[in-house]
């Protein structure tokens, strides 16, 4: 309990004094996670919408793959991203390995199936008669899609919340493709693992507390928008 208490006190001290290294790590965590979530939304919502509305050969298999991707181990994603971005990989010429961009790519791969899966469930939960009513009122294809997304907005916001929660808490893939380089790719999760390995449990507890506070604030804001949308 003394470690937890000292860790909480250290977290307060680091935040009050605006410790430069901690602020840098926190801002990088926010930048990487929010960018990855935004990319996953751009990818996941269209895919989820298509899979929810269209019927085609192989759709069942595709939905199964999306659901499988929702539980894909982050270390496997990290390994796959590392193999693609390594010097001898297909995208090695881009020089993205051990950069924040590599971390964003890995986290976006993790979050996209989550967003797509929640979007499928949200749109399929809309009553079929409502879809027919929208078409009967003469809506164009674009209007039809926009109205369906609006009706499913609560579920889609849940998809965004789940996607963000999946990336901000991720450590394995970030450490594998980012390298945990101080001042460049170090984020709160990887910094916590590093401090634990060094036996600095108070600082690790402080970093974990800051991570929890950051995740709570973002999730609470999204949850407010979701409940307000009711």
CB 37 within 8 A of CB 110: no
Q: pLDDT value at position 229?
A: 58
Domains and CATH numbers, the chain: 2-228 (1.10.3720.10)
> Would you write out the chain's pLDDT as a tens digit for each of its 230 residues?
566 777 677 777 777 777 788 889 889 999 999 999 999 999 999 999 999 888 888 888 999 999 998 988 888 999 999 999 998 888 988 888 899 999 999 999 999 999 999 999 988 888 777 777 777 777 777 888 888 888 888 889 889 999 998 898 888 888 899 888 888 988 999 988 888 888 878 788 888 888 888 889 888 888 887 777 55
Q: pLDDT value at position 230?
A: 59
Distance of CA 88 to CAs 76, 93, 104, 172, 173, Å? 19, 8, 20, 22, 19
Q: pLDDT value at position 117?
A: 93
Distance, in Å, from the CA atom of 71 to the CA atom of 56, rounded to the nearest integer, reads 25
Q: pLDDT value at position 2?
A: 67
CB 107 within 8 A of CB 36: yes
Q: For residue 89, is it left (φ>0), alpha (ψ between -120 and 50) or beta?
A: beta
Report the predicted TM-score, pTM, of the whole model to 2 decimal places: 0.88
Phi, psi at residue 62, to the nearest 5°? -65, -45
Distance, in Å, from the CA atom of 52 to the CA atom of 188, rounded to the nearest integer, reads 36
Q: Which residue has the tokens 């965004």?
A: 160
150: which 2 tokens?
């609006």
Specify burial of residue 90 (Cβ count, 10 A radius: 0-12, 13-18, 19+): exposed
């Amino acid at each position: 309990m003394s470690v937890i208490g000292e860790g909480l006190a250290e977290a307060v001290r680091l935040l009050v004094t605006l410790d430069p290294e901690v602020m840098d790590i926190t801002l990088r965590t926010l930048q990487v996670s929010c960018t990855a979530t935004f990319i996953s939304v751009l990818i996941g919502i269209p895919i989820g919408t298509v899979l929810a509305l269209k019927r085609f050969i192989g759709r069942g298999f595709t939905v199964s793959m999306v659901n499988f991707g929702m539980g894909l181990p982050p270390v496997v994603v990290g390994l796959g991203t590392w193999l693609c971005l390594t010097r001898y990989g297909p995208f090695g010429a881009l020089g993205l390995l051990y950069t924040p961009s590599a971390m964003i790519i890995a986290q976006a791969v993790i979050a996209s199936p989550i967003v797509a899966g929640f979007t499928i469930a949200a749109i399929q939960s809309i009553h079929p008669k409502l879809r027919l009513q929208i078409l009967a009122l003469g809506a164009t294809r674009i209007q039809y899609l926009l109205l369906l997304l609006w009706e499913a907005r609560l579920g889609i916001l849940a998809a965004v919340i789940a996607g963000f929660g999946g990336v901000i808490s991720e450590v394995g893939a970030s450490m594998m493709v980012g390298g945990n380089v101080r001042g460049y790719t170090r984020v709160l999760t990887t910094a916590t693992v590093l401090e634990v390995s060094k036996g600095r449990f108070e600082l690790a507890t402080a970093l974990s507390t800051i991570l929890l506070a950051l995740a709570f604030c973002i999730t609470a804001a999204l949850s407010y928008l979701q409940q307000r949308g009711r």
